[in-house]
Amino acid sequence: MLKKTIFCPVLLAAALSACGINPVTKEREFQFVSQDKEIQIGQQNYSPARQSQGGDYILDTELTRYVQQVGQKLAAVSDRPDLPYEFVVLNDSVPNAWAMPGGKIAFNRGLLYELHSEAELAAVLGHEIVHAAARHGAKGMERGMFMQGAMLAVGLATRDSNYANMVVGGAQLGGQLITSKYGRDAESEADTYGMKYMKLAGYDPAAAVTLQETFVRLSEGKRQDFISGLFASHPPSQERVDENKRTLAELGAGGEMGKQVYAEKVSKLMATKEAYKAYDEGKAALQKGDADKAKSLAKKAISIEPKEARFQELLGDIALTQKNTTEALALYDKAIQLQPDYFKPYVQSGIALFNAGKKEQAEPFLKKANALLPTAPGYALLGQIAEGRGETSLALQHYQLAASSDSDIGKEAAGRAMRIDLPRNPGRYLPSGPIADDTGLVYAAVQNNSNVAVGRVQVRMLQYDNRGRLVNQSRSMLITGGIAPGARGTVATSVRIQDQAALQFFRVVVEGAELAR
């Protein structure tokens, strides 16, 4: 009872100090993430998240400016116009859009194909602005902290399946932020207040109703690209359509639709749609092992849009699978020249050079790739390069970063890291303790919880009294003969005990270990 009396007021005080007013709904809520922290999180994760989703679409800067202008027009009438909003078009054919804390918003090229007016564009952007303004992403993080005590970063499944689950380090948080599913209340708020922002900015909120109706039809048709994109985090429903109709009745229809201006702004994008369709089909063909078909589709894409870096990159991937390193490097270089700020041609160049035995030449490409988007392949190969130079501490850092990804490369890197770290920190991998046989003879036992075989292990037995004071210790002893992964090794001491309860006064310390040769 005493503990409860002390603890509860402290917990209550902490909770009350974290209360705040939601800037959109004006309701009281827990707010453990400050506005400064929201902005910091968005700024830190915006760039790597964009890298992992195909990179920025740079071939039509006028289109990007247009999306930014519409976005800023809506942001200016939002409930948090002071956030540092940013809007970008991503080079991804999957129809999707997402928002990060702090007003960092992305709109996929693939979703622009599906819209028919500026008002529909405003409906999507307004919806995402509300997610940022109403702290929906921040609240999701707060729920995680409240229930678990910490934010858990999850592996980001990138749109490029070659790098699925390979993002590592702090950049993993971006994957959690943009793939989190919002609850029904958050989606309802984003619809309702997004339509209000549309009205305030001069757009016809009726577009939000017709757009949701379209999404419902597409979901019923199970169109796979929408299901894997927008619908994964923003599931449509007739209930949402009906709610939007009620909101429209309150706001009143009327305002700018902007069908003609939208058609003009996306005309260049629409003119190259077949190029990206061929590219997407080419990637799929390569993943199935049909290099000839992939090459034909890549060349078709280039004939329509020769300035797209992704198309040259695909040809590079094809050459790399055919072990034509020189051709692959030349094609990756073309991709880099066309778009110098995208990670993949750098990491692929590094892989090609490393496999060709040109490790020193590979290193700057891998470092550049990791600066743009840290990945398991980048860090795993940098680890091998460092280890080959005898820089084991640096190699260990690289391997440990690579090991944070849920991938085969990450698992291999974990094994390499363990081989370096285990001799330095044997107790981390080799838990130990005293055991006794039927005669009372005490043994020092060591369990190998690593995935590598261990050779000799050096241990020492410590004995304490019932007050926890050290009263005796053995000389260093060796467990020889090796300990396989998952197995246990022992060495006998000269100590005998009367009953098993006496083991509580003994402790085994692992002082050193060697890897099996």
pLDDT band at 29 (very low <50, low <70, confident <90, very high): confident
pLDDT tops 70 at residue 162: no
CB 374 within 8 A of CB 168: yes
pLDDT tops 80 at residue 174: no
412 vs 185, higher pLDDT = 412
How far is it, in rounded angstroms, from Cα 306 to Cα 363?
29
272 Cβ contact partners less than 8 Å away, ≥ 6 residues apart: 59, 304, 305, 308
DSSP 410-425: HHHHHHHHHHHHHHHS
Least trusted range by pLDDT, from 72-86, 234-248, 390-404: 234-248
pLDDT tops 60 at residue 281: yes
Q: What is the pLDDT of residue 18?
A: 67
Q: What is the pLDDT of residue 86?
A: 97
- What's the mean pLDDT in 312-340? 97
Bridge partner residues of 444 (DSSP): 434, 491
- What's the mean pLDDT in 77-97? 94
How far is it, in rounded angstroms, from Cα 94 to Cα 224?
9
- What's the mean pLDDT in 63-92? 97
Number of Cβ within 10 Å of residue 12's Cβ equals: 10
pTM of the complete model: 0.85
Q: What is the pLDDT of residue 263?
A: 98
pLDDT tops 60 at residue 16: no
Phi, psi of 406 (to 5 degrees): -90, 80
How far is it, in rounded angstroms, from Cα 151 to Cα 214?
36
Least trusted range by pLDDT, from 139-143, 345-349, 380-384: 139-143
What is the average pLDDT value for the chain, to the nearest integer? 88
- What's the mean pLDDT in 386-401? 97
Q: Which long-range contacts (CB under 8 A, 24 or more apart) does 318-322 make?
A: 318/286, 318/291, 318/294, 320/348, 320/351, 320/352, 321/286, 321/291, 322/291
Phi, psi of 455 (to 5 degrees): -90, -120
pLDDT tops 50 at residue 151: no
Pick the CATH number of 271-424 from 3.30.465.10, 1.10.357.10, 1.25.40.10, 3.40.640.10: 1.25.40.10
Q: Tell me, which fold does domain 427-515 have in CATH?
A: Immunoglobulin-like (2.60.40)
How far is it, in rounded angstroms, from Cα 279 to Cα 285?
10
Burial 128-163 (b: 16+ CB within 10 A, else e): bbbbbbbbbbbbbbbeeeeeeeeeebebbbbbbeeb
460-517 pLDDT per residue, tens: 999 999 999 999 999 999 999 999 999 999 999 999 999 999 999 999 999 999 999 8
CB 354 within 8 A of CB 336: no
- What's the mean pLDDT in 222-251? 75
Portions of the chain given CATH number 1.25.40.10: 271-424
143 vs 279, higher pLDDT = 279
pLDDT tops 60 at residue 5: no
- What's the mean pLDDT in 356-377? 96
pLDDT tops 50 at residue 146: no
pLDDT tops 80 at residue 97: yes
